[in-house]
Amino acid sequence: MAYSMDLSGRVALVTGASSGLGAQFARTLSRAGAAVVLASRRVEKLKELRAQIEAEGGDAHVVALDVTSMDSIRAAVAHAETEMGAIDILINNSGVSTTQRLQDVAEADFDFIFDTNVKGAFFVAQEVGKRMLGNAQLFVLTRSVIGTLRSASLEKSPLLQSPALEDTLLELVWALIGERSASVQRR
Ligand SMILES: NC(=O)c1ccc[n+]([C@@H]2O[C@H](COP(=O)([O-])OP(=O)(O)OC[C@H]3O[C@@H](n4cnc5c(N)ncnc54)[C@H](OP(=O)(O)O)[C@@H]3O)[C@@H](O)[C@H]2O)c1
């Protein structure tokens, strides 16, 4: 497939690149010319994707990342920049979900979702956004980061789908890097 967007010379950090949407984001960005940093916990899966991207002529680097750990976030972003240069594009995609009915959700389930999808995404955006300050050529994409607790009787938990939480994340990115210099989109 041909891509009209030329991202040659750009560096993209894709969190949650070991499967699903994140892996596809990484392939697509690479085919558009970007160098991609593949980040998540399952490094072996990332290495498989790196091999696929390199076989297509792309440039990919693997970095271990657990978004529930502040130390891991800082180390992964620093490592990504050391290896590939300044990050131009953030695909803030790491996420988890659970499948309990709403009335069966335990505190540990709630914490699991929020630690990854809200807190994790927030601090990934912060760490990358801080480093983007002063860079006038930015494209930042954050996906919809709020996880879903599925339920037979109530398919989506309104609490965990709160648009206010997503807005908070987007506003953080805008505050850090300036709305005029960035394109911030939900997915
Ligand atoms: N598929 C859809 O239709 C859809 C629609 C809207 C939103 N979403 C959301 O988009 C996200 C991706 O969806 P998907 O279907 O691609 O799911 P997926 O295949 O399960 O991918 C989730 C990714 O998040 C990573 N991840 C999970 N916990 C992490 C952690 N603590 N630190 C770093 N990475 C972590 C996983 O990598 P590791 O296990 O290697 O860490 C994996 O690569 C999910 O949050 C999902 O809820 C999906």
pLDDT at 184: 47
The CB of 19 under 6 Å from ligand 1? The reply is yes
Q: Which atom of ligand 1 is nearest to the CA of 17?
A: 43
- Annotation: CATH topology of 11-186: Rossmann fold (3.40.50)
Closest residue by Cα to atom 43, ligand 1, is 16
The CB of 22 under 6 Å from ligand 1? The reply is yes
Length of the chain: 187
Give 78 Cα–ligand 1 centroid separation in angstroms.
22
Coil, strand, or helix at residue 93?
coil
Closest residue by Cα to atom 2, ligand 1, is 21
Q: What is the amino acid identity at position 133?
A: L
**Of all helices (H) and strands (E), which one includes residue 177?**
helix 163-177
Give 127 Cα–ligand 1 centroid separation in angstroms.
19
DSSP class of residue 56 equals T
**Phi, then psi, of 89 in degrees rounded to 5:** -130, 130
Give the Å distances, CA to CA, from 179 to 121, 137, 139, 173, 187: 19, 12, 11, 8, 18
Asked if 130 and 167 count as a contact pair (C-beta separation under 8 A), the reply is no
Q: Would you write out the chain's pLDDT as a tens digit for each of its 187 residues? A: 555 778 899 999 999 999 998 999 999 999 999 999 999 999 999 999 999 999 999 999 999 999 999 999 999 999 999 999 999 888 888 988 777 777 788 899 888 888 988 889 888 988 988 887 655 444 454 444 444 333 323 344 333 444 455 555 555 555 555 544 444 444 4
Q: Which atom of ligand 1 is nearest to the CA of 16?
A: 43
- Ligand 1: residue of 36, 37, 40 to mutate (most ligand atoms within 8 A of CB) is 40
Give 25 Cα–ligand 1 centroid separation in angstroms.
12
Give 92 Cα–ligand 1 centroid separation in angstroms.
10
Q: Where are the domains of the chain?
A: 11-186
Asked if 15 and 65 count as a contact pair (C-beta separation under 8 A), the reply is yes
The CB of 100 under 6 Å from ligand 1? The reply is no
**Gap between the Cα atoms of 53 and 3, Å rounded:** 16
Query: Closest Cα to residue 124, out of 9, 16, 7, 10?
Result: 16
Asked if 122 and 114 count as a contact pair (C-beta separation under 8 A), the reply is no
**Phi, then psi, of 90 in degrees rounded to 5:** -115, 120
The CB of 142 under 6 Å from ligand 1? The reply is no
Q: What would the two tokens of residue 84 be?
A: 């590939």
The CB of 21 under 6 Å from ligand 1? The reply is yes
